[in-house]
Amino acid sequence: MKLVIDNRTVEAPEGTTILDAARHSGVAIPSLCSHPELTPYGGCRLCIVEVEGMRGFPTACTTRAEEGMTVRTVTAEIRQLRREVLQLILSEHPASCLMCEEAEACASFQTTIRKAGVTTGCRTCTNDGRCDLQEVVESVGLEEIAYPIYYRNIPVEKDDPFYDRDYNLCILCGRCVRICQEVRMNGTLAFKQRGRRTTIGPAFDRSHLEAGCEFCGACLSVCPTGTLGEKGRKWAGAPDATTASACPFCGLACDLQILARKDTIIGTLPPDTGTCSGGTLCVKGRFCVPEAANHPDRLAGPAARVEGGVLGVPMEEAIQRAAGLLKGVEGGAFAMLLSPDLSLEDLWVAGRFAREVMKSDRLASTAVEALGPAVGPFLEVAAGNRLADIGESDCIVAVGADFSYGFSPIALRIMAEARSGRRYIRVGAIEDPTAKLARESHPHPLAQESAFLEHLIASAHRPLFVLGPDVLFPDNAEAVLAAVRNFTRSGRAKALALLPHHNLFGLAALLGDTLERGASALLNDGAIRVLYCLENLPGGPRPAAVSVIHQSPFRPPASSADLVLPAAGMGEAPGTVLTLDGQPAVVRQAVGPRGTALPDWKILSAIATAMGRTDFNYADAGEIRREMPPSFALKPLRSLEGQTRGPAAAPPANQPFLLHRRPPYESFRGVALNALVPGFADLLPSGHIAINPGDAARLGTTDGDIVRVEAGGAAAEFPVKPSPRLTPGTLVLIHADPSARFPSNPCAVNLRRR
């Protein structure tokens, strides 16, 4: 199809709007409400054009281009109308800085003292220098506003985690509402009230947390003004470097862009598709990377325990101290803790170091142990993962999958399939964003797993089980996984297991056949003389080992290490990981390591060299990859197999609540994410009893109240956290030791206010 735009003949595919046809041909038409991933809206009216033979001034974003159409975008009348429309928009938006003669000098010297609260102009706006509205004002050529300025005086909303909202800057373009509804399929946001009082937010004056917001950041990414301000980088300014990398917080390893300024990570964005909607990232990838990377507990240099305290030492001296501690220690006297967040290169060198230098195969992981005895069968099911199975199935059954704050790409694909008519069934205690599209929901596990799952897929031809990490923790976990495994082996169904850790597949593929299950027992093994930790030790007493070497991006627990070696953190070293479908994902370096920190493989290689080895002189991560196998096969985790636990029973009438418990598996290098990122602790707080708000109201409890949980002879007290994600009668406890205090999981309990 051909049409003429501003005396230029351009080509465009059928069904294209005038706005898209113009932009693809290099003709700039201003707009504030249009977005490539959203349906045309026509709200801002800035993209008006003249079309020969058509009355009035249609909006280019809502008008389809047609063969032979003649379009004019820059006539004098259109320019004047755009200036009038833009003046009306700015009459309710702080805009003095947009047209101030001293704007350039003010940007250089920042003469205003107001840096928070009410926004009065661009120089006090967190979006200054990266604002669509600024660009439109410049392109339209607006130099003054002829209308009275009305400041709406709306209080800035700061109560929810991750971003603030200043609706005094909102131009009601509707982008945030549409991306929440159309792309994320969540529906948290809507227009509220009418006329001059119109604002945007959840209905009924609820907070975003209460309304079920996933904090994916999609609304923030598409906002054309500074209305939505990211708490973590409010005043960081525009990035001076952008690096395509992978998210470090789960096995999906989602593509993302790391934003850096002055060699410091200041934020992340979704992959650079030209639209940057944010719709494909969860809260962890969108907001948690910079806070974790810049946490106050980050290590910047080595330290050694000396008489009377801890002494900072140069890295060269620390390497020699490590070699001295390890000298003469071999076999069972040496053990190493490994993190499933290490790269393949780090794991390969760590495995070589343990086997060849220390002559030991005593390897373990506290993070893997925390996943429970069902992790072996879970990974066996995961070995057949194929993301394409989501679109090829006619029935999707999600078991133990909570998509509220993780695995967003999987959730979006499931919801898209459910909207298109696919049968979707949920089995689990939490109502996540996909629950509203489920044809069936089963909140509690049943005793006869095989028969129950058989019933769910009886009428399906190509069923798919989507297994989330929460399937690992109930007492019937092994039975559920055995039933799913039987279905997949017989060819009657397929399965997709969602891995909770960044490189859990890589750890299992490289070292799974030697990984010991009893990491906690290893910590207190009296035969061990040196314990080398590449993940944070859990809290508690110091391990029984004579010497503890702690190598991590984060400080160790107090008094737990004799030697501390700073390792590069997320975004600070290149490497590769295996994603949940077994494919390698590249992790690129965005900034330099903190202080004198080094990549884990480089520290291990330096220690091996100091101990007399000459075959650990790797030049870079690429040389390590060339030494590694060309492909990876998952090794069976025989040493991680546990005893099958009994089925869970329905709660008796005199114990009306069913308590589900799990560890805080959202972590990095052994440190819980809700300990690294305060905002994430608001979403998934550890050590709190999460309860349905209706149940909390009936008990007379509010957020933070202490409740007593009783089951038989066991009892414990926890603060309460109302959560709209829970069904009535359901309780969830995220705890570092989920097996403690109660005899079963889930467990029928009584709950009362203390």
Task: Please give the Cα distance from 723 to 211 (Å, whole number).
Answer: 10
- pLDDT for residue 654: 63
Amino acid sitting at position 278: G
Helices within 554-599 (DSSP H only) = none
For residue range 122-169, list pLDDT tens digits in order. 666 777 777 889 899 988 988 888 888 888 888 999 988 999 999 999
338/62 Cα distance (integer angstroms): 55
Pairs from 456-462 (Cβ < 8 Å, separation ≥ 24): 456/395, 456/397, 456/425, 456/427, 457/395, 457/397, 457/487, 457/492, 457/493, 459/395, 460/393, 460/394, 460/395, 460/423, 460/493, 461/394, 462/392, 462/393, 462/394, 462/395, 462/494
Q: What is the DSSP string of 174-229?
A: -HHHHIIIIIS-----EEES-GGG-EEE-GGG--TTTTT-----HHHHH-SSSSEE
Query: Which H or E run includes 504?
Result: helix 504-511
Instruction: Specify the pLDDT at position 695.
Output: 94
Helix ranges (H only) for 611-748 are 621-627, 673-676, 678-683, 693-699
CA separation for the pair 635, 510 (Å, rounded)? 8
Q: Please give the DSSP secondary-structure letter assigned to residue 12.
A: -
Checking if the pLDDT of 651 tops 70, the result is no
pLDDT of residue 639: 44
Both tokens of residue 336? 């190493």
Residue 490 has pLDDT above 50, yes or no: yes
Give the separation between CA 555 and CA 565, rounded to whole angstroms: 9
What band does 581 get if pLDDT is binned at 50, 70 and 90? confident
- Give CA–CA dist 69/71, Å, rounded: 6
Residue with tokens 């929901």: 441
Distance (Å, whole) CA 671 – CA 463: 36
Which pLDDT score is estimated for 204? Answer: 87
Token pair of 569 as six digits = 């953190």
In the predicted structure, residue 641 carries a pLDDT above the cut 50: no
Res 59 pLDDT > 90: yes
Task: With cut-offs at 50, 70 and 90, classify the pLDDT of residue 273.
Answer: low
> What pLDDT score does 425 carry?
96
User: In this predicted structure, what is the pLDDT of residue 643?
Assistant: 43
Looking at residue 653, its pLDDT comes to 55
State the Cα–Cα distance between residues 482 and 15, nearest whole angstrom: 50
For residue 493, CA distances in Å to 384, 409, 456, 459 come to 11, 22, 12, 12
CA–CA dist 426, 551 (Å, integer):
41
pLDDT at 108: 64
Higher pLDDT, residue 435 or 643: 435
Q: What's the whole-number average pLDDT of the chain?
A: 89
Bridge partners of 496, per DSSP, are 466
The fourth-level CATH superfamily of domain 375-495 is Dimethylsulfoxide Reductase, domain 2 (3.40.228.10)
CA distance 171 to 187: 20
The yes or no reply on domain 303-371+504-627 and CATH 1.10.10.10 is: no
Angstrom distance (rounded) from CA 21 to CA 68: 13
Ranges of each domain in the chain: 2-124, 152-293, 303-371+504-627, 375-495, 657-753
The more confident residue out of 705 and 273 is 705
Torsion angle defined by CA atoms of residues 406, 409, 410 and 415, in that order, rounded to the nearest 10 degrees: 110
pLDDT of residue 616: 96
Fold entry, domain 2-124: Ubiquitin-like (UB roll) (3.10.20)
pLDDT, one tens digit per residue, over 190-216 is: 999 888 889 999 988 888 988 889 999
Coil, strand or helix: which one is 541? coil
Residue with tokens 């669509």, as numbered in its chain: 132
- Given this structure, which CATH class describes domain 657-753? mainly beta
d(CA 205, CA 192): 9
| Short-list 182, 174, 218, CA closest to 44 | 174
Average pLDDT over residues 563-567: 97
Residue keyed to tokens 């952008």: 242
Q: Return the structure tokens found at 415.
A: 């919801």
- In this prediction, residue 70 carries a pLDDT of 94
Question: Peptide bond preceding 553: is omega within 30 degrees of 0, i.e. cis?
Answer: no
pLDDT at 450: 85
Asked if 222 contacts 34 with a C-beta cutoff of 8 angstroms, the reply is no
Residue 108's alpha-carbon distances to 94, 104, 105, 111, 342, in angstroms, are: 20, 6, 5, 9, 43
Give the confidence band of 522 by pLDDT, cuts at 50, 70, 90: confident
Q: What is the rounded CA–CA span in Å between residue 134 and residue 99?
A: 10
> Residue 358 to residues 206, 304, 319, 354, 607: CA-CA distances in angstroms?
58, 21, 16, 5, 11
Of 425, 579, 602, residue with least CA distance to 504 = 579
Torsion, Cα of 173, 179, 181, 184 (10° steps): -160
Work out the average pLDDT over 260-288: 83
- Per-residue pLDDT band at 299 (split at 50, 70, 90): very high
Q: Check whether 544 has a pLDDT greater than 90.
A: no
| pLDDT of res. 446 | 60
Both structure tokens of 193 = 């009230």
Q: How far apart, in Å, are the Cα atoms of 527 and each of 89, 228, 353, 355, 610? A: 74, 56, 20, 18, 25
Q: Which two tokens stand for residue 754?
A: 């203390």
Short-list 259, 240, 256, 236, CA closest to 248: 256
Three-state SS for 310-337 is: EEECCHHHHHHHHHHHHCCCCHHHEEEE
Higher pLDDT, 424 or 275: 424
pLDDT digits (tens, 9 = 90+) for 73-104: 999 999 999 999 999 999 888 876 777 766 66
Could you count the other beta carbons within 10 Å of the beta carbon of residue 654? 7
d(CA 16, CA 330): 69
- What integer is the mean pLDDT of 98-118? 60
Q: How far apart are CA 398 and CA 394, in angstroms?
A: 13
- The Cβ-side half-sphere exposure at 334, using a 13 Å CA radius, reads 22
Q: In the prediction, which pLDDT does 114 show?
A: 47
Binning pLDDT at 50, 70 and 90, where does residue 401 land? very high
Residue in this structure with the two tokens 């070293």, named with its chain if needed: 573
CATH ID of 152-293, from 3.30.70.20, 1.10.150.120, 3.40.50.880, 3.40.50.12160: 3.30.70.20
Q: Is residue 266 classed exposed, middle or buried when 0-12, 13-18 and 19+ CB atoms within 10 A define those classes?
A: buried
**Bridge-partner residues for 336, per DSSP?**
363, 532
> What is the rounded radius of gyration, in angstroms, for the C-alpha atoms of the chain?
28
Weakest-pLDDT range from 525-534, 620-629, 639-648, 698-707: 639-648
SS (H, E, C) 453-489: HHHHCCCCCCEEEEECHHHHCCCCHHHHHHHHHHHHH
Q: Are 299 and 553 in contact (CB under 8 A)?
A: yes
What per-residue confidence (pLDDT) applies to 109? 60
pLDDT band for 419, please (50, 70, 90 cuts).
very high
CB 95 within 8 A of CB 121: yes
pLDDT average, residue stretch 456-463: 91
